[in-house]
């Protein structure tokens, strides 16, 4: 095959699969509604099962359901016949996937599912199959042909089944009012979870780490505090620790240019009043946006009494892996 042949083959495959997925929209009927309502009413877990390539797709569907608010896991139908059926309870719902609708390992466990009175939803390519006939609702995932030129390797059919699983998961997600924060709780270890869960209080510098100088103190003392704390800034407070202003490296450059006497000037004279502040419950991702919008590298965290209780530096957010 030439380079052109490879590209032509790939385009044909993608077009066939895109067309097949597009046709799913016209098959969404009462069966889909029944499947959604049954899964929403489930007091247990949604158990997904399937053999071979259908099993691989089923594993992904179960994972997607679980991460979008529908407790779910995959059970291998072959293992179910040898003990794993005990993982399924009367409060569960089963989704069985089989392109032919007659996969032996899946058909074998149907009587047991029926005996337990467990609602069964099927995804098949044959609406008249044994599996689809036994189901409370059958989702039609049939395709005209596989992308494989031999019409043998599951390609278009698995893509369509995966898309139908996504359609189920998102319909349920929207019905439950599942939020971005809910999603983050299922993904606390990833960048998205950190972005949606990590707050300023979790990573800010606090207590003795917060640079503080009184408004009455001379500038040269404040420079020592700035050097010691290492943030390139210091808060300026009253005698009762109320925030008055901030003094930064940028402010220092400006007063040097203005030939201000560092030894005699007080912080009240050189500080920047009304500094940008945040509360400790703000998301770290929101704090980062404030820094970027205002072209600053650190924010003062203050409490409800306007006292500085922390400093959040851009480096802290980056180290936490928020972005």
The answer to which of 20-34, 125-139, 276-290 has the lowest mean pLDDT is 276-290
Strand order in the sheet with 243-248: 212-214, 233-237, 243-248, 272-273
In the three-class reduction of DSSP (H, G, I as helix; E, B as strand; rest coil), residue 219 is classed as helix
- At 149-163, the pLDDT tens digits run 888 788 999 999 999
CA neighbor of 72 nearest in space, from 194, 168, 181, 141: 168
Buried b (16+ CB within 10 A) or exposed e, 280-295: bebbbbebbeebeeee
Q: Distances from the Cα of 212 to the Cαs of 189, 301, 303, 308, in angstroms?
A: 35, 13, 15, 9
Residue range(s) defining the domain that contains residue 285? 200-319
Residue 138 CA, chain-centre distance (Å), reads 30
Asked if residue 53 belongs to a domain, the reply is yes
Average pLDDT over residues 167-178: 91
Asked if residue 170 and residue 215 are part of one domain, the reply reads no
CB 291 within 8 A of CB 299: yes
Co-location of 168 and 33 in the same domain: yes
Tokens representing 193 are: 């979870």
Q: Given strand 72-74, what is the order of strands in its sheet? A: 72-74, 46-50, 93-98, 120-124, 137-140
30: which 2 tokens? 């009462």
Whether residue 309 sits in one domain with residue 206:
yes
> Do 299 and 170 reside in the same domain of the chain?
no
Residue 144 belongs to some domain of the structure: yes
Number of structural domains (the chain) is 2
CATH of the domain at 121: 3.40.50.10490
Least confident of 25-34, 166-175, 197-206: 197-206
Identify whether 160 is part of a domain. yes
Residue 148: its pLDDT value, please?
Answer: 86
CATH number of the domain encompassing residue 279: 3.10.580.10
CB proximity list for 314: less than 8 A, separation 6 or greater: 288, 291, 297, 298
- 183, with CB counted inside 10 A (0-12, 13-18, 19+), is middle
- pLDDT tens column, 66-79: 988 899 999 999 88
Would you say the C-alpha torsion 315, 319, 322, 323 has a positive or negative sign? positive
Q: Which of 165, 207, 212, 186 is nearest to 62 (CA)?
A: 165
Same domain, 55 and 157: yes
Q: Are residues 165 and 217 in the same domain?
A: no
Give me the half-sphere count of Cα atoms (radius 13 Å) on the Cβ side of residue 281: 2
Q: What band does 84 get if pLDDT is binned at 50, 70 and 90?
A: confident
């Amino acid at each position: 095959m030439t380079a052109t042949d490879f590209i032509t083959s790939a385009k044909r495959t993608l077009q066939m699969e895109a067309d097949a997925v597009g046709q799913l929209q016209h098959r969404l009927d009462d069966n889909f509604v029944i499947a959604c309502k049954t899964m929403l009413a489930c007091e247990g877990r949604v158990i997904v099962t399937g053999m071979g390539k259908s099993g691989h797709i089923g594993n992904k569907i179960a994972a997607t359901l679980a991460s979008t608010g529908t407790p779910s896991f995959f059970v291998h139908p072959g293992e179910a016949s040898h003990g794993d059926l005990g993982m399924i309870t009367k409060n569960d719902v089963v989704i069985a996937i089989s392109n032919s609708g007659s996969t032996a390992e899946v058909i074998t466990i149907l009587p047991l599912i029926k005996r337990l009175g467990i609602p069964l939803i099927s995804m098949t390519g044959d609406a008249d199959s044994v599996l689809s006939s036994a189901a409370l609702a059958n989702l039609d995932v049939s395709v005209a042909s596989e992308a494989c030129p031999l019409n043998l390797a599951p390609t278009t059919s698995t893509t369509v089944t995966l898309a139908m699983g996504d359609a189920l998961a998102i319909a349920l997600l929207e019905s439950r009012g599942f939020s971005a924060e809910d999603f983050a709780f299922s993904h606390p270890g990833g960048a998205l979870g950190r972005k949606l869960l990590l707050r300023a209080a979790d990573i800010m510098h606090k207590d003795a780490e917060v640079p503080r100088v009184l408004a009455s103190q001379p500038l040269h003392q404040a420079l020592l505090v700035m050097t010691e704390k290492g943030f390139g800034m210091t808060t300026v407070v009253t005698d009762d620790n109320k925030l008055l202003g901030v003094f930064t490296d940028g402010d220092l450059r400006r007063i040097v240019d203005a030939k201000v006497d560092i030894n005699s000037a007080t912080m009240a004279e050189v500080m920047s009043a009304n500094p940008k502040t945040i509360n400790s419950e703000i998301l770290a991702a929101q704090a980062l946006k404030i820094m970027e919008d205002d072209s600053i590298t650190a924010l003062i965290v203050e409490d409800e009494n306007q006292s500085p209780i922390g400093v959040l530096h851009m480096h802290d957010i980056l180290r936490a892996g928020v972005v």
